[in-house]
Structure formats: structure tokens, C-alpha cells
Copies of this chain bind each other. A is one copy, B any other.
Amino acid sequence: MTAPLRRDAERNRQLLLRTAYDLMAVDGLDVTYEEIARAAGTGLGTVYRRFPQRQDLLDALFAAHIDAVVGFAEEAARRDDALAGLVWFLERQLELEAGSRGLGELLRGRRQSSTLVQAAGERMTPIIAGLVARAVRAGQLPDGVTPGDFAAAHVMVGSVMDASRTVAPDLWRRALAIALAGLRHADLPGVAPDETVIDHLYHDQKK
């Protein structure tokens, strides 16, 4: 379909991907194209030629990670112990996010979600919902806990991760412990977040 890139172009493409990945791991998704070009030692035009939309770059950079997260969900669903599966899934996903600020921004707030992230969400939604339902049925979680509450927990832990990344890169594990213990023991007030609200939790898309 699409012609393969010329050898030098492909080399540049890989170089740009590596460079962009490293920059975004530290500074988040909003690194300047100019910054990427400078760090990679290419011209600005080269970055634009290869990745006309920033979304193109993000997709190329993070597709594998997104797939991995979906894989985690599927693997978690195979467990007999539903709650253990949920905990394991959340922890794996957060570990990935801990490795790259950019990935965290992609998977949670900031920036409207790409097709990739949306598709991944659609695949995981029923899986997680099934796990939560199983855990509740088994009495591992109190009645009233919903998938949306896990989404909230994810966002909550992520916020601590984002704020403490540079000074306490493991603090999110403490936040995770709080969130998980909370889900197990809280008597949740109000109405559970439905699909629409979950969508906002993840793709807030404001500056």
C-alpha cells in the first residue's frame, strides 16, 4: 500500500521516535516539535514531514504501550480471583505510566484521546466491568462499587504520580494503597459515575 521509506528517511524516523519518546517521558506530550528536531539533530521540516499531526507522532510512539495495557486487562480477566485481577491490572498500568509522563498524559487527562486510546478503552470497558461485577458478587468489594469507581481510583493515583514524579517517583504506590483500601472499605455516597462521566474523568481535555 504505502511505499516503504527511503533508508535514510527511515533512519531519521527512528531517531525522531527515540528522541521524542525520551523527551516526552520527562516533559510530557507537549514538547515542542522544534525541541524534538534540535535534540535529534534534524531540521524542523523533517519532523513535520514525518508526523504532520502530533497525533501521528503519539500513535507511533505509544501504540505498543496501549496494546500492552489492553493485554493486561485481558490477562487480569483470566484470573479466578477477580479483585486480585483488578488490583494487578491497575498496578501494571500505573507502572507503565510511571515510566513515562507522556504515557500517563495520554492514558488519563490532558489532550483529547486518539483513536487508539478510544479503541483500547472500548475493548477494556467490558472486561473491567466484568471483573468488578465478579468481585462484588464474590463479596470482595462492597455493593455499589462500579467500574467508574475504578476509573476514579486510577485518575486519583495518577494525579499523585504526576505531582510527585520528580521528587518521589514511588509515591504513587502509596496513593494506590489508599485508593484500593478505600474501594474495599468505603460506603460510597451519591451516584456512581456512568460512561459519560468516566469519559470525562479520562479525557478531560482542558488545558
Contacts and interface: CB of A to CB of B under 8 A. Distances in A.
Contacts of A162: 204
Interface string A167-207: 11011011101111111111111111100110011101011
A207 B158 CA distance: 16
A183 to B, nearest CB: 6
Contacts of A153: 178
The size class of the interface chain A forms with chain B is 35 or more
Interface of chain A, helix or strand or loop or mixed?
helix
How many copies altogether? 2
A163 B207 contact: no
A177 B189 contact: yes
Given A167-B196, A200-B167, A188 B177 contact: yes
Given A109-B163, A156-B179, A180-B182, 19 more contacts: A28-B206, A28-B207, A152-B175, A155-B159, A156-B175, A158-B159, A159-B159, A163-B200, A164-B193, A164-B197, A170-B190, A173-B190, A174-B188, A178-B179, A178-B183, A179-B179, A180-B186, A182-B183, A184-B185
